[in-house]
A and B are shown apart, each in its own frame.
Chain A
Amino acid sequence: MFENSGLSMDQAPPIVVVLRFFLTGSIFGIVASFMLFFYGKSVTNFSSAQALALTHTLTLGVMASFMFGALYQMLPVLCGVAIKEPETLALRVNYALILGTIFLSISFFTANLILYILAALSLAYALFTSSYVMIKKLKTISHSSSSRGMLLSLISLVFVAILGLLLLSLRGGFNINIDYLALKSAHFSFGLFGWIALLIISVSFQVIEMFYVTPPYNKRYANYLPQIIITLLFINLFSAIFAPAILNIVEYIIILLVALHAGLTLIKLKQKKRAVTDATILFWAFGMSSYILFAFFYTLSQFITIPTTIVVTLFAYFALSIVFAMSYKIVPFLVWFHLNAKGYFEVPMMHEIAHPKYARVNLYFFITSFILLILANFITIFWQIGSISLLISFFMLFFILYSAIKKYFHILNTGKRFEFNMPKI
């Protein structure tokens, strides 16, 4: 409860903190699309430098940028956690993440020790600093299911980073007595299901009900699901090292639990009270459907041969879809809200910042790229056509972010202001 408690806009980070991360993420999305265009079929070999570079451009460059931006925004607003000097910290983390992603992606091709070290240092700074500050803050609050899930997701990120750095050390030639494949599997599980899926689940607990006026998730379910997933991830980590035989079973339970949540979210979206369906709801629905298909094809792949690229593409589109959904929902709101909070008269309406029709066209390009990239497993030329469609999707997102920033600063520099507590005549 708040009662004139000194709560102020200082609680929320400056808008540039969030938009800078989002802009970075969309630029890396454009870069990843170009990589996919030029690498084509070679990304289907997951040990190839091309596949590793593309995977890390997507997970670090795109996903981590958007997720950090969203966390800097959501922690104060949803959890009441204020990060000290967010602008300085976010700027440093942003630069370190950009450099780390570039160094790492290049290092897969060159196997250059200096690049490995530079990548390790930059990424360690970006991931550990942000995680440490956020975890420290989140440990002090009384938790909602959403904030608890975010905390566990950040803990997973720390493990992803530690395991990733160990893998990098092995690639760099350092002799560590750890099984490379077990390490890789644990890095993969903590990254996909701990960091990415758990964060999406935690965010969904809060935003699905709030944004779309759906029935809330069951409280006990929302409280325990993230805890069960993180516990299973640790069991998974130990079984990767000590009991590889049960590794697949534990991982499969995690996959099914996330699929359960995806199904439940689809049901909630179907139960929303408003009849209007905008592009952000469709992005959420598409993302959740993509995850269910991922779980289905993963299961199927245990019995029949299915191109692994299909399974990976389904997971990637699950995560990216939520990125688009959240960006189209958050960015117009942030511009509108921050200008209102600063007391400007002529604030553009949210649909003037990102028109719903524009978002819908973006959704169509995004879905088209998904279909084409799935088909690319059978018809090679679709790698290129699909990546062009993905490129357009990310470019559209970049353009909306860029024009939102431009509009924001234009009004900030030229607009007239009012005071809420101006005396009334």
Chain B
Amino acid sequence: MSGAGGAAGDRLDHYVSTDPFDPHSIEALTPEQERFYLASQWRMMWWRFKRHHLAVVSGAVLALLYLSVLVSEVIAPYDLHSRHSDYIYAPPQPVRLFHEGELAGPFVYGLHYRLDMENLKREYREDRARRYRLRFLCSGDPYRFWGKLEASFHLVCVEDGGTLFLLGTDRLGRDVLSRMVHGARISLTIGLVGIAVSFAVGLVLGGLAGYYGGWVDSLVQRLIEIIRSFPELPLWMALSAALPVTWSPIGVFFGITIILGLIDWTGLARAVRSKLLALREEDFTTAAVLMGARPGRVIARHLLPNFMSHLIASATLSIPAMILGETALSFLGLGLRPPVTSWGVLLTEAQNVNAVALYPWLMFPVVPVVITVLAFNFLGDGLRDAADPYKAD
């Protein structure tokens, strides 16, 4: 910085820029940096969540499943209750593309039925002479959309005279795939309604225990311990046996959901309580109380939002238990009853070893159960990691 010329002792040239100076220019952020540093908490959670690929895929699968519930009637090839009395216990029909080595578009072969008179076994084999082309976006088996609107529009149906049992039929000749698609409506909502119940109970009781402490806390704690030490399934069984037989199937559905939720809240209540116990000592809580906020407002407005994301994550993780619980109860005949159709109700058809040996396709409804339960588990895992985006890993 020594002056360019001039003898020693001369004043150095002092350069002052005449441009206006922006004091923030030094710490200016590039757009990317800005986006990163100023991101909202929810955005950060999303970034963290995106890194858990399995959770993202699971989320997409669940979203698809729940969307399908809106239009079950269109997706299913047949109506829930259509019977095909000529095709009882028909095996799955594969969709084929080639007929005798030639591309013939998607089609199915007809089924040839024969009763084996020796052991009275129903035998089906493909009748290669009859081919039925598959059509898409067509009108087929009539149904009432959401029980109201009459329609007959389907995503896929088969040429007249043919049948399309992609996953076989049951003892009344009803298409297993169609029933699975319809069953999703009940099985998938039961988890959500149940979790809503358990969320509400858990928040209120856990909130009370954590906020007030003292004897309220001990009381709730004891209650939680007792419920947790009770094996879940027998308790569910006992409570659902207590549902009056006279209730309509829909009433039973809500009864079962509430029962599932009423026993499941303990984990959530625990989480809420321990967080509240820590947070109620914080300055902002004292400030809110001093400003005259009522306990309800302090809890709901100032405390809960701090760990809502954690709660959502743990709620996601407890949905699978409910779905499995409903499946088990229905399977035992203590849960939902026909005509309400859930995956558990469908699985009652596969109740004995005969079904496993002779009609293994009756066990297909277990596939969506497994997929849903796994997806909820992975999604919950991802959400739990994302719930605390500030934590370095």
A binds B: no
